[in-house]
Structure formats: C-alpha cells, structure tokens
Amino acid sequence: MGPDIAAALARLRRQRRPPEQQARTDGGLDEGSAKAPVSPVSKLWYSDAVQAIPFWLPPALLMGWFVYGAVGWNLLISLTDWSGLGQPEYTSLSLEMYRELPGDRSFRAAFRNTVILLVAFTGVSLAIGLVLAILVDRDIRFENTFRTIYLLPMALSFVVTAIFWSWMYNPTTGTINVVLRGIGLDVLASDWIGNPRTRLWAIIFALTWQFSGYAMVVYLAGLRAIPDEHYEAAKVDGASTLRMYWRVIIPQLSAATVSAVVVLMVFALKAFDFIFVMFGDNPGRSADILAVMMFRVAFSRAQWAYGAAVATVLFVMALAIVAPYLYVQYRRGAL
C-alpha cells in the first residue's frame, strides 16, 4: 500500500512540474540547464497558488460570501437610511448615519461604557490571572484542582452566569448582600445592579470572575516555559522574590499578555449575551454597551441603517484590537 501511494505521488509531482524543470536521472532538478525560456503564463500556471486552487478556493468562497460579504452588506446598509418595514434604498448612499452618531447621547454613553468595560475588565482579569498563575505555579498542593476550579467559570455560558449573578446581586435575597449584612457591614449592602452608579462595575466584576481563570491558564503556560534556572539565577544574583518576578519573570510573559489581551478584549466587545440576559435590550445608559445598543436600535426599533452604523463602529474597534496583534505575529513569522 505505502510504496504504491508514494510512487503515485511522485508521478503526480513530476507531471505537475513545468516541463523545463523535470527531474534529472540523478535525482536532481534540471533547472536552467535547458535554456528554454519560461513564459509568464506557464510560470503562473505552475505557481503554487494556482496549482492549489482546489484546496483554497471553496473555503475562501464560503468565508468570503458568508462572513466578509455580510460585513460588506452591513456597511452598505449603514450608508442608506433604511428603517421600519420595506426595502433599503441603495440609490442614495451617504454618511448621514455616522454623522448622527456623535450627537447621540445614548451612543456616547454606550461607547464610553464599552471602552471602560474593555479596559477595566481586561486589566483586572490580567492582574488577577497573573497573581493566580504565579501562586498556582509555586509547586503548591492540589495544583490541578485549583487550576480547574479557577478555569471552570469560563466553561459556563454567559446565559448561565448572567442569571446566576443577577441572583447574587439581588438586593434583598442575593448572597452578596446577605453575606455583607451577616458580617455586620449593612452600610455596604446596596442594590448593585439596580443602582446606575454601580451597575457597570457589577457587570465588570462578574465578567472578571468568569475570565480571570482564562488569563491564569495563558500565564501559567507562559510561566511553565521559563526554565527554573532563571529563578535561580535571579536569586543568586541577589533579587528578592518581588524583584525577581518584576524584572525577570513578568517581562518574559509579554507574549502571553498580548494574546490574553486580544482574547479578553474581543470577549469584552461581545459581552452582549451577559448584559442582554441580565437586563434585556435596554440596560439603561449606565450599563449600555455598543453591542446591546446595536441590537436594540436595529431589532427593537427597526432603525436598520442606524444599527448597521453602530455595528460598523464595533467592527472597526474589533479590527483595531486584532490587527496589531496579527501584524506583530506576521512580522515574527508566526503566521
């Protein structure tokens, strides 16, 4: 079986090579020794890209149509003034919807909340994840158990955690307030998700709880890649534990940080489900984010073009987060 396949493959490859580059009898390639000029058409025809068409074209078409086509269509809709029932008017395109955005107080609030969520959620998750990873990495007992416990929340769906946290935050029967009152801190008990001043932070807290475990796993992988000798070398050189981590270990985690940041930020942009389950399509100006606003504007108010414009802003934000990462990866040759 094996030799047959190998022989067939060899035959195939020989056929696919341009005629002027056939194998020589000694096993080398007969390149250039035959002086026949290579025509551009033939060069193109035998290039890897063309020869590999059967493999890359079908998935590229599917992706192109359903993903990038949809993105493009969304962009097109955002340039119309489509709303309510009826069909979009593609004849008069303008940036009217985008011009309206800055003046819209609800957009401004949603944009601000999205940025706060993005920064605070990512920053706190990273910090907690890093501390957990360092603790778990120090050869503690039941390390695997702790790792699983910390990672478990991430396995839960946003719907589950949103319902679960809305119970926790319940002002009268919720665990948080019950515990606070139980230990005599009644003053601190409050209507966490009812009060507009604490609402966004309650969401960030819950999301951090869910995603710190992920940051921990990424950091743990990074820490495991650092040889023990780096710790020992730093110690022999005279570094205290704090300085050893600060100057030797954490700087080596930059790659882990970058990939965790990208994933966490993208999750933050997509926090739609969590907020939608907790508050429905209108969480109020204090906790509104672009994703929820987009849904509300488009599907509840049928302002299709305006919703599409919000979606485009969201898309650009996601691109702004991912693109630098991809570029750096590309420069490193990792793509």
Partner 1 sequence: MARVTLEHITKRYEDVTAVDDMNVEIRDGEFVCLVGPSGCGKSTTMEIVAGLTTPTEGTVFIGDADVTKLPPKDRGVAMVFQNIALFPHMNVWENISFGLRLRKFDTDEIDRRVEHAADIVQLEGMLERMPDEMSGGQRQRVAIARAIVRNPDVFLMDEPLANLDAKLRVHMRTELQRLHKELDTTIIYVTHDQAEAMTMSDRIAVINAGRLQQIDPPLICYNEPANLFVAGFIGSPSMNFVEGDLTRDGLETPNFSVEFDPSQVPNATVGDRLTLGIRPEDVFLEHRAGNLETTTDPIDAVTDVLEPMGDEIFVYLLLDESAERSMEDALATPNQLLMSVSPDTEIHEDERTNVVLDRSKVHLFDTDTGEALVHGIDDLPGPTAGADTGAGTAGTETRATGSGTDTER
Which residues lie near partner 1 (CB under 8 A)? Answer: 227, 229-230, 232-239, 243, 247-248, 251-252, 254
Other beta carbons within 10 Å of 112: 14
Looking at beta carbons only, is 194 or 251 nearer to partner 1?
Answer: 251
CB of 251 to partner 1, least distance (A): 4
CB of 254 to partner 1, least distance (A): 8
CB of 123 to partner 1, least distance (A): 22
Looking at beta carbons only, is 186 or 232 nearer to partner 1?
Answer: 232
Looking at beta carbons only, is 251 or 284 nearer to partner 1?
Answer: 251
CB of 231 to partner 1, least distance (A): 9
Phi and psi angles of residue 334, each rounded to the nearest 5 degrees, phi first: -90, -5
Nearest to 267 by CA among 255, 277, 275: 275
Q: Is the dihedral of CA 308, 310, 314, 317 positive or negative?
A: positive
CB of 253 to partner 1, least distance (A): 10
Looking at beta carbons only, is 164 or 231 nearer to partner 1?
Answer: 231
Looking at beta carbons only, is 236 or 334 nearer to partner 1?
Answer: 236
Other beta carbons within 10 Å of 299: 12
Return d(Cα 238, Cα 232) in angstroms, integer: 10
Cβ neighbors of 220 (< 8 A, separation 6 or more) are 133, 136, 137, 147
CB of 252 to partner 1, least distance (A): 6
Produce one character per residue of 250-263: b if its CB has 16 or more CB atoms within 10 Å, e if not: beebeebbeebbbb
23 bridge partner residues: 29
Looking at beta carbons only, is 187 or 236 nearer to partner 1?
Answer: 236
CB of 134 to partner 1, least distance (A): 17
Return d(Cα 262, Cα 319) in angstroms, integer: 11
Looking at beta carbons only, is 204 or 223 nearer to partner 1?
Answer: 223
Residue type, 196: P
Return d(Cα 201, Cα 287) in angstroms, integer: 9
Looking at beta carbons only, is 100 or 237 nearer to partner 1?
Answer: 237
Whether the CB-CB separation of 129 and 218 falls below 8 Å is answered with yes
Phi and psi angles of residue 29, each rounded to the nearest 5 degrees, phi first: -100, 140
Cβ neighbors of 327 (< 8 A, separation 6 or more) are none
- Tokens encoding 71: 């993105």
Looking at beta carbons only, is 256 or 291 nearer to partner 1?
Answer: 256
CB of 126 to partner 1, least distance (A): 18
CA–centroid distance for 328 within its chain: 16
Whether the CB-CB separation of 64 and 84 falls below 8 Å is answered with no
CB of 233 to partner 1, least distance (A): 5
